[in-house]
Structure 1
């Protein structure tokens, strides 16, 4: 027999479960005009803003900001990817759909595609939840590079050190 839910405004009083990391709240993530130091350079006119780096689960969540048109990358996913477009639009040359402002896309593991931001888009910002790695490939699918939660942490750590926030600034996003 199921017990009725208890809606009394009393916090949980029991012991915490072991090995549960602290919650993570990142304020102001939709304020895209915030401190530029929070945006980590990834390539010319391309930045990411970390929201969560899960080293134990092998995924990361970040905002990707692109201020140029053209091909951004060609890559294969080692795990699933969830994308929510917050500003602008983009698509993959291999697929008929477009990710437009307010849309959600699911990209299955193993999918290979070439990301393009079209002419006329001043800025594209998309929240990506990436499990596993991006394996960058040439047009024939040959690997040319890889990016995962650990390389993203390294890139962010170096950036935050260089802009005066300190290398440890990235630690707040690691769970």
Structure 2
């Protein structure tokens, strides 16, 4: 049975590549650790260089963000998340991220459930990001780079 094959797994940072977060940005990079189609969840690191911009987006599910390095915030909030800070985002929220660090790359660890709906200046949905688009990005990057992909959807490695 499937539950008998599920065990504690481990994946190290060097086990997966940094990938451009295209088509949204070629300078923002993402590193996937888990892409779960059952829960609609992705677990990843994101690296955002100083001055990079990310679009306004709406979360359909919850998001947990741990700030590893640098500082960042959402235009819609007064707080700033710095290294060691944790941000918990409730489902059905809208955010516009900005990098506060002027000379330091921001690195965040994300656990995202559900979809991110990217919006234009008028609030119209222009793109959808979810477990499937994440998996496609990962597999396409591996294919183009000659990397043997890991099964990031698996419960045990």
- With a CA cutoff of 8 Å and minimum separation of 6, indicate the structure with the bigger relative contact order: 2
Q: More displaced, 63-72 or 124-133?
A: 63-72
**Alignment TM-score, normalising by the size of structure 2:** 0.87
Which structure 2 segments of 5+ residues have no match?
none
Residue 29 of structure 2 contacts residue 47 of structure 2 at CA under 8 Å; is this kept in 1? yes
**Alignment CA distance shift 1:110-1:20 (3 Å):** farther
Higher Rg of the two aligned structures: 1
Match of 2:20 in 1: 41
Is 1:83 aligned to 2:68, yes or no?
A: no
Residue 48 of structure 2 contacts residue 106 of structure 2 at CA under 8 Å; is this kept in 1? yes
Alpha-carbon separation, structure 1, partners of 2:2 and 2:93: 37
After superposition, the C-alpha distances for 1:54-90 in whole angstroms (9 at most, x for unaligned) are 1111111000011231431210000000000001111
Is 1:51 aligned to 2:33, yes or no?
A: yes
Alignment length (residue pairs): 151
Which structure 1 segments of 5+ residues have no match?
1-15
Alpha-carbon separation, structure 2, partners of 1:174 and 1:23: 14
**Alignment TM-score, normalising by the size of structure 1:** 0.79
Is 1:135 aligned to 2:114, yes or no?
A: no
